[in-house]
Chains A and B, each alone.
Chain A
């Protein structure tokens, strides 16, 4: 449903995209993960007809985006940071206007508007200007705008950036709901948890290129398997714990003295926990917490790029 191949795009000396490939099957969520400035937004702008790439191909729902932008626009909904809402219009007026611009007749536009307002719990605010909305309400209305013509493909650009935890959870439910209903979604995010939670497939991009792709599980496996992790009561026993874990797991243990944490890669669960507890105790090491842990997507990103996902501060991507 979504295909991009070999996309290149430069703004002056900045190479936003350098041969980006993406694809998403019908009814799935593709998570595009990367730090600020990685090229996520530029990729979405190309796929949504807002920007023309210097090279490459892009198609959405079988329509060549570059050759038939108008046809493509009929089949997509866009929500996110850049395609915004009118601050002075009410939520209802915004949705109706966008519905009418999608060429819905007045009755259908009004009916869809009412449905979406109710579904996204905006009934009380529907007749207030959008500038009075909270961040969460805005995002919901924005998503409503993307859905008004019931397009088969939706693009969400950082749908939860700036939302509080409650607002974020609410958005996640709405997004998961959409995919269950058969909509194909492409969602950019810089939150690994978000991609992990929602995306069927994840493309990790950095410097305008996909550096890894697969399911969250596959990406985690790529970094390494499971680990046994121990949190110690006293920092002074880190060295002892390292010695013990080296005999239990595979390879050298990894120690974080400041966090009083020591971990080691393991290949089996068999009697590992009991052995570890017994031997640590025998070595006089007091343990606060012990357990198996699989790598987070944060660690995936770190191992792929050599830096954490959210380290880089906002270098604003060229918006237009």
Chain B
């Protein structure tokens, strides 16, 4: 156990050095979400009205979860890169607990997600985000999104182990995650969509997580979406944690 922790720390440390050396690796969790906050709040904010709530406050939950979702699945690209460039082979030739490679990767990505939330929170406050739900509810909301992101990271581990090229993943991620964030309650009320699309938008996991986060941050109440959102985080994690290990082991012992 203690070796496992130490090995994992070495992996995290390596990932953190990467971030320090190439800060542009953080753009997707810093600049991009800030841009989204500003664009939607200042550009679309005037045109979109959500009854009963200020648009910027409504919007923030959506951008939080969107950013965390992208950061989570991006684990797959970073892992696929290491598989491609031979670093994983190096690690496999060492007497380490092999799971530390994956734990190091996903925990670093969790830290990236936390950084993203912190930055967006501050920028959100500047443009009118009012989390009136209180401290405890805000912490719960952040914990819920990070859990959701962590589950997506493990889906990313499985995906990254299965594909041959990191480049292929970028396209897949964009094609899957981008529409899911828009066909949700992130930026507009699903009730405004065509019936069939709204039906899907109201029930898909991103909406549930967004609604739970929105309820917690704005009202302090978990709301009806909280339990489903929690399930959509815990169940995938329980499935993909072992599945990610399995896919990775299969890939690396061929």
Contacts and interface: CB of A to CB of B under 8 A. Distances in A.
Interface of A: 11, 48-52, 70-71, 73-74, 76, 78, 81-89, 93, 97-98, 100-103, 129, 145, 318-320
A83 B18 CA distance: 19
Contact of A320 (B17, B96, B251): B251
A98 B91 CA distance: 8
Contact of A89 (B3, B6, B17, B96): B17
A86 B92 CA distance: 14
The A interface is mostly helix, strand or loop, or mixed, namely: loop
B89 interface: yes
Which of B6, B21, B89 has the most CB atoms of chain A within a 10 A radius of its CB? B89
Nearest to B252: A320
**3 interchain residue pairs of minimum CB distance:** A84-B86, A73-B95, A83-B90
Contacts of B83: 320
Given A50-B89, A82-B89, A84-B87, A70 B13 contact: no
Given A103-B3, A320-B89, A88 B22 contact: yes
Range class of the B interface residue count: 20 to 34
A40 to B, nearest CB: 15
Interface of B: 3, 6-7, 10, 13-14, 17-18, 21-22, 83, 85-87, 89-96, 251-254
Which of A71, A82, A83 has the most CB atoms of chain B within a 10 A radius of its CB? A83
B81 to A, nearest CB: 10
8 contacts: A50-B252, A78-B90, A83-B93, A84-B86, A97-B13, A98-B94, A101-B10, A319-B86
Contact of B86 (A74, A83, A98, A100): A83
Contact of A70 (B22, B90, B95): B95
B253 A52 contact: yes
Nearest to B85: A84
Contacts of B87: 84-86
Contacts of B7: 101
Contact of A11 (B10, B93, B251, B254): B254
A49 B93 contact: yes
B182 to A, nearest CB: 34
